[in-house]
Each structure stands twice: as structure tokens, then as C-alpha cells.
């Protein structure tokens, strides 16, 4: 659980698109005191994702539930939201006593009373220099439903559990059928995320099969945010997509571990002239007679896909001789350097889209190597100690199928440019 103060780093961990952003017409970004002040002045009503609070949280008394834990659990069980302390019922900003705002104590209450654990909860203060506010940012939880544990004051050994949720501007308790539905939704979310990744991969495979002029091996990679970009948030326009792809290509070309140009460099002007697709921007060299065909898609929900030809380099006569001696004439060459460059470019694109859209959730990434004409032998090409000409090591295994790789990309990339190499991120 994040515990923070007024620092920029703390606010950057909070969600970048909230009810206040939507009401004010603000672009995705950190929440500020001025935004809260303007929303309060507009008398923005409470809703299932916004709760104005006059007084700071208090510990439970007389056997009551921990109201702070209950409010947070209710938001997490619905669709996430903001608890803003220091704003009266009439929307007047009265502020809080910062010295009495014990963030560590509040975090302990949540740890003790809310289950399962809420790792992405963020608390921070906002101030204009004179008046302070406490903001509790509760993201919609993939692990919902979250239960609130309590204990009766009359019988301290008696434990009770309940499941709250937000119903418009108030908190209610789930009935048995609602709890059942909440658990089914949790398992469905996991299945749906995996299905979405599979559908994107299948679409890329079909596109490759339709356009590949000759048998070839391709890297197919998909990145999808665990919480898709909100429907009401501004979409990426064409100029932004062009700029994003241009920056990604420049960053990728300057990576210290880069041995050869990546697929973005090989796309030339086609990279920075994306065309509109169905809820996406597409840069592609698939339709032209080009040895190193590649396609990049920037989806409006924050998904990124990449397909690039890994076996575009023709084998030398010496290498063909080695292949014939090994009895593998038709094996598709897969260059280690080309794979590394493609992975680096892909992660760089994902990072740039995270920054541009200010995505506030982890990215799920899956990648594999796909043969355009169906399962064929894949022949690895590598160089000893990273230098010299790439060759196929003796007695190397030539698989027909490559098991997909799955990983996660954290949201550290949403702020300033990370000093960590995309190659390290991929690994």
C-alpha cells in the first residue's frame, strides 16, 4: 500500500483520470489542490466514485465498524474512486489539521480490516500553502470483492465479516447473490484479460499469414493495461501517435545494448504516418514489397501490438552449407540480435504510450515467435560474447513451436524517462 505526503512522487502513484478530471475537462494527470477547489466550487455532487468528507477518519468506538476501512472497501468493490477529507457537506473547503492526519495509522486500519489486501491504495496531502486536504485514491480492484472484518464490542471474541459497495452517493452492504456475482466477476476478469491477449495475437498471426511473401519467422508481441484506458478520457490523435512513434524510434536507436537497427528504424516514413483503424492507429509496411515487414498498432484502450519479420536477413553461402550438412535446409533463421532489437523497440513503444496516456496500471505483456506458413523449424543465429558474425551453433535445437513468454511492465515508466534499459525491463 502506498503511503505518501505532498511529494510529486506520491501523487504520481495515484490514478491519472478521476471524476474530477472528467468534470473539469482536464487531461489525464496528477490531481491538484486547484482541481479539488474548482470541483468544490462547482458543487460537484458525490457519486459512487467520489465522497466528500468533512472530518479526518476516526478509530472505531463502541463496537462500530471501522468507517475508514468500510469506505475504502466499498470504493474498491465498485469501480474505484476518491475520498477527499476537508470538504464540508455544502462543498465549502474547511481543510484538515495535517498534524492529526496519521497516514501510517490509516494504512494499518486498512491492513487489519480489509481483505484481501489492497496494494495500490494511495494517500497523499494537497495544499495551497494555507489549507490542506487529505486525498485517498482507491483504484478499482482486480481482487474484488474485498471483505471488511469487524469485532463486536459486547463480545470481543466474535468476529464478523461484511462486503460493502457504493450505491451512487452512499455505502450499502452486498446481499448474498451480489457477493456471489462479485466472486464470479473476479474470475471472469482474469479469463477476459487472457482472452483479449489471445485475440490480439491471433489477429496478428492471421495478418502475417495473409501478407508474408515467403516463409519467415515473426515476433508477435502484445501489451495490454490491466485497467484499460477510461472510455471518457481523451483519445490519442494522429499527431500524437506520430510524435509518440517518432520518440520511441529515437529512444530505441540510442539504447547502449543495440547491435543492429530495430524494426522501428526499418519502417522509415511508414512509421510516422499511421493510418486509422478500428479503435486504433496502425503503422505498417506489410502491404509493400519490403524484406523486413513490420506492423505497430496503438489501440485507444492502451493496448500495443507489434509484428516484425525476424528472418529478413538472407543467409550467406557458408551458412547455407552448414544448414545442408546438418540436414536442415528449410529452417527459418532467427537472429538473436534482431529479436533483442525488436523486444527493445516494443517495450519502448509501450513505455511511450504509458507516458502519453498517463496509464496508471500495470501492463500485461505476451510474446512469441510465429512461422508465417505454419509450424516450421526455427534456426537460432547467435554470436559468441555478443560480437562478430552470427552463426548457428553446432547441434543446436531447431524447434517448430515457441512457447509464449508472459511478463508484466510496471507503471514506473509513466513519469519521467526511465533510466532502465528496455532490454532489462523485458527480462
Q: Hey, where are the domains in the chain?
A: 2-177, 192-426
pLDDT for 426: 39
Q: Tell me what pLDDT residue 133 has.
A: 96
**Do 118 and 146 form a contact (C-beta atoms < 8 A)?**
yes
Predicted confidence at residue 283, as pLDDT, reads 95
DSSP structure class, residue 275? E
List all residues 6 or more positions away from 350 whose beta carbon is below 8 Å from its beta carbon.
223, 304, 363, 365, 409, 413
Which residues, including other chains, have CB under 8 Å from residue 142's CB and lie 6 or more apart?
Answer: 186, 189, 190, 226, 227
Q: How far apart are CA 170 and CA 415, in angstroms?
A: 34
pLDDT of residue 157: 58
Instruction: Render pLDDT for 46-76 as a digit per residue (tens, 0 to 9).
Output: 999 999 999 999 887 665 678 999 999 999 9
Task: Map residue 350 onto helix, strand or coil.
Answer: helix
Compute the C-alpha angle 251/194/306, nearest 5°. 30
Regions of the chain with pLDDT less than 70: 1-13, 61-64, 151-158, 257-258, 289-291, 312-330, 385-387, 411-427
Q: Which residue has the cell 496509464?
A: 359
Q: What are phi and psi of 293, to 5 degrees?
A: -75, 140
Q: Quick one: angle between helices 238-253 and 336-357, nearest 10?
A: 140
pLDDT of residue 7: 47
Torsion angle defined by CA atoms of residues 309, 313, 317 and 318, in that order, rounded to the nearest 10 degrees: -90
Q: pTM to 2 decimals? A: 0.70
What pLDDT shows up at residue 313?
54
CATH architecture of the domain covering 2-177: 2-Layer Sandwich (3.30)
249's CB contacts (< 8 A; 6+ apart) are 262, 264, 265, 271, 272, 345
Return the SS3 of 193: helix
Amino acid at each position: 500500500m502506498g503511503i505518501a505526503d505532498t511529494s510529486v512522487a506520491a501523487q504520481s502513484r495515484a490514478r491519472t483520470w478521476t471524476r474530477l478530471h472528467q468534470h473539469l475537462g482536464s487531461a489525464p494527470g496528477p490531481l491538484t489542490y486547484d482541481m479539488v477547489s474548482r470541483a468544490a466550487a462547482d458543487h460537484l455532487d458525490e457519486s459512487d466514485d467520489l465522497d466528500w468528507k468533512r472530518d479526518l477518519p476516526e478509530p472505531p468506538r463502541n463496537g462500530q465498524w471501522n468507517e475508514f476501512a468500510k469506505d475504502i472497501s466499498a470504493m474498491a468493490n465498485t469501480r474505484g474512486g476518491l475520498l477527499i477529507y476537508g470538504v464540508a457537506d455544502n462543498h465549502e473547503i474547511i481543510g484538515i489539521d495535517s498534524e492529526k492526519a496519521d497516514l501510517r495509522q490509516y494504512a494499518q486500519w486498512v491492513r487489519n480490516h480489509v481483505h484481501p489486501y489492497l496494494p495500490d491504495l494511495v494517500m497523499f496531502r494537497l495544499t495551497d500553502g494555507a489549507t490542506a486536504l487529505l486525498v485517498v485514491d482507491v483504484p478499482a480492484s482486480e481482487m474484488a470483492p474485498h471483505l471488511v472484518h469487524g469485532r463486536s464490542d459486547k463480545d470481543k471474541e466474535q468476529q464478523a465479516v461484511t462486503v460493502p459497495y457504493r450505491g451512487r452517493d452512499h455505502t450499502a452492504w452486498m446481499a448474498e447473490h451480489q457477493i456471489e456475482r462479485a466472486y464470479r466477476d473476479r474470475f471472469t476478469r482474469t479469463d477476459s484479460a487472457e482472452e483479449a491477449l489471445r485475440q490480439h495475437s491471433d489477429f496478428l498471426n492471421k495478418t502475417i499469414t495473409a501478407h508474408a511473401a515467403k516463409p519467415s519467422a515473426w515476433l508477435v508481441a502484445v501489451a495490454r493495461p490491466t485497467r484499460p484506458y477510461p472510455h471518457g478520457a481523451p483519445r490519442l490523435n494522429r499527431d500524437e501517435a506520430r510524435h509518440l512513434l517518432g520518440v520511441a524510434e529515437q529512444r530505441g536507436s540510442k539504447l547502449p545494448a543495440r547491435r543492429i537497427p530495430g524494426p522501428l528504424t526499418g519502417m522509415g516514413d511508414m512509421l510516422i504516418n499511421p493510418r486509422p483503424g478500428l479503435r486504433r492507429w496502425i503503422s505498417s509496411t506489410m502491404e509493400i514489397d519490403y524484406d523486413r515487414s513490420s506492423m505497430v498498432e496503438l489501440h485507444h484502450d492502451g493496448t500495443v501490438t507489434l509484428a516484425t519479420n525476424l528472418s529478413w536477413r538472407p543467409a550467406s553461402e557458408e551458412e547455407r552449407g552448414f544448414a545442408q550438412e546438418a540436414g536442415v535446409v528449410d529452417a527459418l533463421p532467427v537472429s538473436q540480435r534482431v529479436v533483442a532489437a525488436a523486444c527493445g523497440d516494443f517495450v519502448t513503444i509501450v513505455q511511450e504510450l504509458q507516458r502519453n496516456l498517463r496509464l496508471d496500471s500495470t501492463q500485461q505483456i505476451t510474446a512469441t515467435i510465429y512461422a508465417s506458413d505454419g509450424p516450421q523449424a526455427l534456426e537460432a543465429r547467435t554470436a559468441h560474447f555478443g560480437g562478430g558474425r552470427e552463426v548457428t551453433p553446432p547441434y543446436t535445437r531447431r524447434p517448430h513451436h515457441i512457447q509464449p513468454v508472459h511478463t508484466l511492465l510496471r507503471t514506473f515508466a509513466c513519469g519521467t524517462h526511465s533510466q532502465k534499459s528496455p532490454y532489462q525491463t523485458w527480462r
